[in-house]
Structure 1
Amino acid sequence: MTNQDLRAELTENLDEAEWEWLVPHMLRDAVIVVNPELDLLDVGVAIASDNVSEVQIWIDEALIAKPSTTQMTEWNSDRAKRFNTLIVQPFVLVQEKAAA
């Protein structure tokens, strides 16, 4: 599958979710927070195509990471908090949506 095909397939998986819906994924340690300066689809394509070098750069620069304790505490106190989400098995990539 080409990156374009992969991108098209992943585009169909882009969604929006409340924190409440993400908690089960959080409990299985599958949530990855993507910095808002990155494109969620770009990250999804890199992970799905096993682009280790690009993903490692983002990890090293803390642009993608597991949620911090502070973030989880904040999100647990606002269960209606909304996120842009992208499922790339076995992970759920999330970007916090700005408050409206």
Structure 2
Amino acid sequence: MTGPDETYAAILGATSQIEWQALERHFAAGNLLSVSRELDLVEVAGAFTRDDTGQVRRWMEDKQLGPASDEEAADWSRRNPDTLWAVVIRPWVLVQERAATH
């Protein structure tokens, strides 16, 4: 059995920067969830792996997590930002646009 630190490290290792074009098919399939910048993407993914529905529901109610919107998809398609990060927690792909570090 893995502990919380090992799970966090495993998810962190599976998280990567990604181009919008690689996410488009997941958006079209309805499997792309947008994570607000205020949250830790790895922590959100961890809540999914632990099946912490209470926490996931709170984030959704607070509009910090939810299906990627048509507006977000259009914006990402137009800009193709290099600040998108994603992790797969089947059947979902969690995506977060991070602030640019310039």
Give the TM-score normalised by structure 2: 0.87
Identical counterparts, % of pairs: 25
For residue 12 of structure 1, give the secondary structure of its aligned residue in structure 2.
helix
In structure 2, give the amino acid aligned to 1:13: A
Q: Matched residue pairs, number?
A: 99
Contact 1:3 1:49 in 2 (8 A): no
1:88 maps to what in 2? 89
Specify the alignment match of 2:71 in structure 1: 70
Match of 1:54 in 2: 55
Q: Corresponding residue for 2:3?
A: 2
**Aligned partners of 1:69 and 1:41: how far apart in 2?**
24
> Is the Cα contact below 8 Å between 1:14 and 1:84 reproduced in 2?
yes
Q: Which runs of 5+ in 1 are unaligned?
A: none
Query: Matched residues in 1 for 2:90 and 2:3: separation?
Result: 18
| Aligned alpha-carbon RMSD (Å) | 1.5
Runs (4+) of structure 1 exceeding 6 A deviation are: none
Q: Which runs of 5+ in 2 are unaligned?
A: none
